[in-house]
Chains A and B, each alone.
Chain A
Amino acid sequence: MTFPLAQLQLIPQGADYIRILPELILSAFGILVMVLDPLVDEEKSQKTLGLIAFSGTVAALIATWFMAQSPGLAFSNTIRIDSFSVFFTFLVIAIAAVVILSSFEYMAVQRIRAGEYYALILFGVVGMAVMSSAIELVMIFIGLEISSISTYILAGFLRNEASSSEASLKYFLLGSFATAFFLYGVALMFGATGSTNIDTIAQKLPAGPVELLVFVAMALMFVGLGFKVGAAPFHVWTPDVYEGSPAPVVGFMSTAPKAAAFAVLLRVVYAINAPGRFWVLWILAALSMTLGNVGALVQTNVKRLLAYSSIAHAGYLLMAFAMTSPQDSVAGISAAMFYSAAYAAMNVGAFAVVSHFANAGERYVTLEDYEGLGRSSPLLAATLTIFLLSLIGIPLTGGFFAKFYVFSAAMRANLVGLTVIGVINSAVGAYYYLRIIVMMYMRESRKQVPVSRISFGLGTALAVSLLATLYLGLLPNRVLQTAQHSAQDLLPRQSPPASSTAQIQPPAPLPQP
């Protein structure tokens, strides 16, 4: 395989850098945090470095606006900025911003060296942003590795606790195994189509029956990505890792890397129009929902419970991937995107409360510790209740519309069986979220659990996630329209393959004078 000479000679243009501006800003701030870490007094470092990291994410959020203004391909067709990539880039950076806000307090109480922590979050987000906008499988792999390695380390941040190290090691071993699967899939795909560019692969794949190699490649990629999103049967790592990792980190890694992995999965499934995916995804979705919900029923540790709940939510989300016809696909993609956003809002919020509660040490994470919380700290309890109601899928919250769009898309694609499994599961799921609410409001506390005052950072983080959850539940229009618009961008163009050469090497957009 020889690359076209013209492509090698392409020198990145100014616009190319704007298209990765958020990633550049995040990396710069990450390096800044690491450089400043030894210089700042350790007592003050928590807050200072946290604020620097937070302003980095805010700057990156502003940068996504500039990025959105110049859609197109960048860096030899490895990156494509369209409304789809802008959506997910914005989402992962916003998650990071909220998580950074909510970890100020936790870091201070746990006396964790802040420099590495915030830098790793920022670097991890860079990887996720790359995953959201890359259309080149190798580039996606690089993004996946950057984000995964950061989260492996973050999971082990409570160095003195054996469970945290165990979580980190377990996550690392299984995670690198899964990434290897993904990479093997990429290699086989290259063997089958002669390219690792998603657009090219989509054009090279024949519409009719395809050779076995493509199926194997697809299956291996599904295994890798299925692990990253925590879908059954690749879910066994989640409960242990979530239980052992620091609470704010769990809030981060249960949302942001998953959103990015779902973005990749959406590209692989819909842009390539992956062959033979229907039953794989059908079974993956049904299995994840059922195993996640059944597993969560018997948990007594809140973090484990939310881990199983995240498996179940991955299952609901995967329902949106099983559409096959193009007109259903738009509904499916937009439903999946909306779900990722709503799930991020409510789960980050829920974990912010859990981590505030776990401040005094990771001891207070069992259901009994939540007894009587409704009386001792009514505001915190009410906030957590809204997040839990959203996770159940009660109207007026984002979680409701998220489920609603997914089920409705599945129903439109005539997946009645899968929808029925989904609605039954969401009813079963109500039980274990309800248990937490019951504990908070209907039981009197038997032991004294210290709950400190809500600090400014955590308060802001909670307010942001609460507003996002309610906004998505009351006025879902705008986000859904954006998602539908992005879905159109994602789907392969309907143009005939004659224009394929033009699409492989489109001229880099000339900078305007």
Chain B
Amino acid sequence: MNSLDLNILTLVTFIPLAGALLLVLFPRRDRDIRIFALVISLLAFVVSLHLPVYFHRVQAGFQFEIDKPWISSPNIHYHMGIDGFSMWLVVLTTFLTPLCVLISWKSVHDRVKEFFILLLILETALIGVFTSLDLFLFYFFWESTLIPMALLIGVFGHDRKVYAAVKFFMYTMIASVFMLAAILWLYAHTHSFDFVTIRDLIARGAVPSFPAAAQWLFLGFFLAFAVKVPLFPFHTWLPDAHVEAPTAGSVLLAGVLLKMGTYGMLRFNLGLFPEQARQNASWIMILALIGIIYGALVAMVQPNMKKLIAYSSVSHLGFVVLGIFSFTQSGLNGAMFVMLAHGVSTGALFMLAGILHERRHTYEISEFGGLAAPMPVYAASYLFIVLASVGLPLLNGFVGEFLVLSGAFQDKPIYGILAATGVIWSACYLLWMFQRVFYGKVTHPVNNSMADLIGFEKAAIWPCAVAALIMGIAPILWLGAIDPAVQAALAPIPQMIGKVVGQ
């Protein structure tokens, strides 16, 4: 393995942080700061493209691994590596961040330096969550995402920003300490934080008193992830956080932060506790189903565009959880694909909503109407993204939802039937919202003079549209890398059953 392959994950993870540190030294010239942030985030994106290009697709297990001791006691390693699950999430993060810089170009004019520093720190923390294979390192990055995100919401947000920031912080913090307790239990009984080591020890049944604690450990991890996703009863922080967050914050929140939860379920709940995951699957799937339908119904009646998109996230993420806990090949592949597709299209939706807010300082749907006339390019882009989000065939939303539904049908037909209604609901609320905002006559005279998309905004939104199209036409480019990881995640159980029978 050459030295670039060895260090590529370190590079991708820490380029944004290095950029943030350089920004600290920058003079307060807003234009230079913006350009520098854009350059850094583009650099991170370009470097991260090394991963999918040189990724061995048929091979399961972790690639681009780096494993160095960091702290000797407790035994903490700087262990990073990616597989099909995490690779695409890393690329999604690096893809969305430059777009966040672009969309904030004009909309952030106060404390510009702090804004971009926080954005870049957040990017590093997010990438770190997906690349770390040491439980300690993972927790470290997991908690590190909290501060920059809470500050982005609390400092740069809208009216009720403080409430939203504190709520976001407390919800995730309280939930993640249970994960910390579970991680500490694992360390106390295995003397290792290494994901691979712990997974193998558990699979071999070599962890003392594991069977008694397994269910609690599973729940400890699951609670932290379920709040982040957010799964149905834990979702109340999300609409507040989204409505108050600045556009770039919403994009990263919906696009990447929520995926930390579903990624965690895939990696840790399924990876470390495959048996408990199967035992608990039924009630988790029911919660996911409630989330799909409830989120969609609540989205339908929202008068606020951003809240509508936020509740649509609850609904879409329900699909992901449903797919994961269906334990079928198509379900897991679909869950992974929905995560990516949702990141691209919901990220774009939030950018589009932010553009409206910048022009009219409101997200109320009733304030708009007939916008297709003054803003044709904007309307066309919006329609494209809405259709991608709704799940029109040949666009990215379709592939993932189809796979998840087919996985759910294989598991229990009734789950598939109920979840399929979610697709219909999402068409209803998104298209209805589109109709109210863009069609008909211009109801408010101010809207007549609204400017169409400008250069920066096009540069931020069109890449998402292109990505949505390519993902819809050629999903195999993505699924080719995902599928080996899925098969590896589904594999352990037959082996374990074999072992139990053999004994």
Contact = CB atoms under 8 A, between A and B. Distances in A.
Contact of A481 (B73, B141, B150, B184): B73
A442 B154 contact: yes
B162 A438 contact: yes
B154 A411 contact: no
B107 to A, nearest CB: 18
Contacts of B181: 407, 411, 416, 419-420, 423
B169 interface: yes
B144 A424 contact: no
A272 interface: no
A430 interface: yes
B185 A411 contact: yes
B287 interface: no
Given A438-B162, A484-B73, A430 B169 contact: yes
A408 B193 CA distance: 12
Contacts of A419: 181, 184
A395 interface: yes
B188 interface: yes
Interface centre among B154, B170, B177, B181, by most chain A C-beta atoms within 10 angstroms, is: B177
Contacts of B177: 423-424, 426-427
Interface string B64-91: 0000000111100000000000000000
Nearest to A394: B143
Interface residues of B, number: 31
Nearest to A420: B181
Contact of B162 (A395, A416, A426, A442): A442
Nearest to A428: B174
Given A394-B147, A411-B181, A423-B181, A477 B71 contact: yes
B155 interface: yes
Interface string A423-458: 110111011001100100111000000000000000
A404 B166 CA distance: 23
B184 A438 contact: no
B365 interface: no
B226 interface: no
A389 B147 contact: yes
B170 A441 contact: no
B187 interface: yes
Contacts of A441: 151, 154-155
B259 interface: no
A484 B73 CA distance: 10
Interface centre among B162, B181, B184, by most chain A C-beta atoms within 10 angstroms, is: B184
A477 B166 contact: no
A416 B185 contact: yes
A480 interface: yes
A443 B166 CA distance: 13
Interface centre among A374, A396, A414, A434, by most chain B C-beta atoms within 10 angstroms, is: A434
B180 interface: yes
A408 B73 contact: no
A441 B154 CA distance: 8
B173 A427 contact: yes
B166 A434 contact: yes
Interface string B175-216: 001101100110110000000000000000000000000000
Interface in A349-400: 374, 389, 394-396
Nearest to A414: B188
B161 interface: yes
B26 interface: no
Given A411-B187, A442-B154, A442-B155, A395 B180 contact: no
Interface string A463-476: 00000000000011
Interface string A118-156: 000000000000000000000000000000000000000
Contacts of B185: 411, 416
A394 B144 contact: yes
A480 B76 CA distance: 13
Contact of B170 (A416, A427, A476, A480): A427
A376 B187 CA distance: 44
Contacts of B143: 394-395
Contacts of A443: 162
Nearest to B74: A408
Q: Is the interface of B mostly helix, strand, loop or mixed?
A: helix
Contacts of A476: 71
A428 B146 CA distance: 15
Interface centre among B72, B178, B180, by most chain A C-beta atoms within 10 angstroms, is: B180
A493 interface: no
Contact of A431 (B71, B166, B188): B166
A430 B170 contact: yes
A111 interface: no
Interface string B111-148: 00000000000000000000000000001110110110
B165 interface: yes
Contacts of B178: 423
A477 to B, nearest CB: 5
Contacts of A430: 169-170, 173
B45 to A, nearest CB: 25
Given A394-B147, A438-B154, A407 B180 contact: yes
A127 B155 CA distance: 46
A442 B140 CA distance: 25
Contacts of B71: 475-477
A408 B184 contact: yes
Contacts of B188: 408, 411-412, 414
Interface string A265-286: 0000000000000000000000
A218 B11 CA distance: 56
Contacts of B144: 394-396
Contacts of A407: 180-181, 184
Nearest to B156: A442
A442 B72 contact: no
A385 B225 CA distance: 27
B83 to A, nearest CB: 24
B73 A477 contact: yes
A420 B216 CA distance: 12
Contacts of B139: 395
A202 B325 CA distance: 57
Nearest to B186: A411
A479 to B, nearest CB: 11
Contact of A395 (B74, B140, B154, B184): B140
B135 to A, nearest CB: 12
Contacts of A405: 74
A396 B154 CA distance: 22
A481 B55 CA distance: 40
A259 B151 CA distance: 34
Nearest to B24: A382
Given A408-B188, A411-B184, A481-B73, A442 B165 contact: yes
B116 to A, nearest CB: 16
Contacts of A428: 174
Interface centre among A411, A420, A443, A484, by most chain B C-beta atoms within 10 angstroms, is: A411
Nearest to A413: B188
A389 B148 CA distance: 12
A304 to B, nearest CB: 20
A438 B73 contact: no
A442 B162 CA distance: 7
8 contacts: A394-B147, A395-B139, A395-B141, A396-B140, A411-B184, A438-B166, A442-B154, A442-B165
Given A395-B140, A407-B184, 11 more contacts: A408-B184, A416-B185, A427-B170, A434-B170, A435-B166, A438-B165, A441-B155, A442-B154, A442-B161, A442-B162, A477-B73
Interface of B: 71-74, 139-141, 143-144, 146-147, 150-151, 154-155, 161-162, 165-166, 169-170, 173-174, 177-178, 180-181, 184-185, 187-188
Interface of A: 374, 389, 394-396, 404-405, 407-408, 411-412, 414, 416, 419-420, 423-424, 426-428, 430-431, 434-435, 438, 441-443, 475-477, 480-481, 484
Which A-B residue pairs are the 8 nearest by beta carbons? Answer: A423-B177, A427-B174, A412-B188, A395-B140, A411-B184, A411-B188, A442-B154, A427-B177
